[in-house]
Amino acid sequence: MNYRHAFHAGNFADVTKHLALVAILQHLAKKAAGFAVVDTHAGSGNYDLSSDQARRTGEAEAGVKRLEGLAGGNAALTAYLTLALSGPYYPGSPLIAAKMLRPQDRLVAIEKHPEDGATLKAELRPFLRARVEEGDGYRRLLALLPPPERRGLVLIDPPYESPAEFAEATQAFAAAYRRFATGTYMIWFPIKSEAEANGFCGEVMASGATKLIRLDTRLASAGEGKLSAAGLLIVNPPWQLKTALGEALALVAPLMGAVAHLEVLAG
Ligand SMILES: C[S@@+](CC[C@H](N)C(=O)[O-])C[C@H]1O[C@@H](n2cnc3c(N)ncnc32)[C@H](O)[C@@H]1O
């Protein structure tokens, strides 16, 4: 396990993923009934964008930092900008979710890397409705589904260090979906090859998802050897999510030199 998210926190892919996360959680919070969030690959939760790691790649500089000064936009964008830009650090998915929980909601964040897991535990300690588990997110996910609340979001955001991760993520989604078919799922993936990405989306569709949106974000130019495109599959997207994300991305993507494309794959 060599991947460390600190090198990539706040990059274009994080921005679109976290914007979608905020929009989905805002939607879940429209009903009084509580919801559960399971973050299978949570990271360390909070990232110092002035650290050596962040400065070495410059990815946040070309990503979230470009949004400073952006005003207006819809509710999802406003909430995301407040979360992303109000502190000295950039919040990862578990911290964003923890900050958006109401007293009736719950977060389980799973992280395999012991150091990142320990940092995450410290970050989430103030949030009584958030729990961190150190271990394998895929394995733990099945034990946590269906959530007693019967409403919620599963975020599957692995590092894709090995090509086998696409198959592992598909299998984990398929098994999770069999247990909790009404949940919303966000599955992040890198686009290094169009064929690989399309094949992955096809496999996720074939595993039973009947409502599915694909969001691709592509950089006009990326540094040598750097990730230049990323995708997000959203299964069972909330009503009007596509519209809300489309509006927000129309403002955000050009600032990062990116083009975002949303497509309904099913439903
Ligand atoms: C892309 S990062 C997560 C970023 C985070 N979701 C966010 O948006 O802020 C992937 C994380 O998964 C962790 N990881 C790798 N394999 C894992 C596994 N099998 N189970 C849980 N975590 C894992 C890595 O240590 C890394 O912190």
- The number of the ligand 1 atom at minimal distance from the alpha carbon of 136 is 20
Could you tell me the distance, in angstroms and rounded to a whole number, from the CA of residue 5 to the centre of ligand 1?
8
Instruction: Name the β-bridge partners of 234.
Output: 186, 213
Q: What is the mean pLDDT of residues 137-159?
A: 98
For the record, the structure tokens of 210 come out as 């009947």
The bridge status of strand 106-111 relative to strand 258-266 is unpaired
- Give me the sign of the Cα torsion angle 144, 35, 153, 178: positive
Distance between first and last Cα of the chain: 36
Three-state DSSP class for residue 2: coil
Name the least confident of 17-21, 38-42, 87-91, 105-109: 87-91
Answer yes or no: is pLDDT of 196 > 90.
yes
Mean pLDDT, rounded, of the chain = 96
- For residue 87, the model assigns a pLDDT of 82
For the whole model, what pTM was predicted?
Answer: 0.98
Answer yes or no: is pLDDT of 248 > 90.
yes
**CATH topology (fold) of 5-266:** Rossmann fold (3.40.50)
- For residue 202, the model assigns a pLDDT of 97
Answer yes or no: is pLDDT of 238 > 80.
yes
Beta carbons of 27 and 239 less than 8 angstroms apart: yes
Q: Which residue has its alpha carbon closest to ligand 1 atom 27?
A: 43
What residue segments make up the domains of the chain, in order of their start?
5-266
| Ligand 1 binding residues, C-beta < 6 A | 1, 3, 5, 17, 39, 41-43, 92-93, 110-113, 116, 136-138, 157-159
For the record, the structure tokens of 143 come out as 């034990």
- For residue 76, the model assigns a pLDDT of 97
Ligand 1 test: best mutation among 4, 5, 49, 144, most atoms within 8 Å of CB? 5
Catalytic-residue membership of 157:
yes
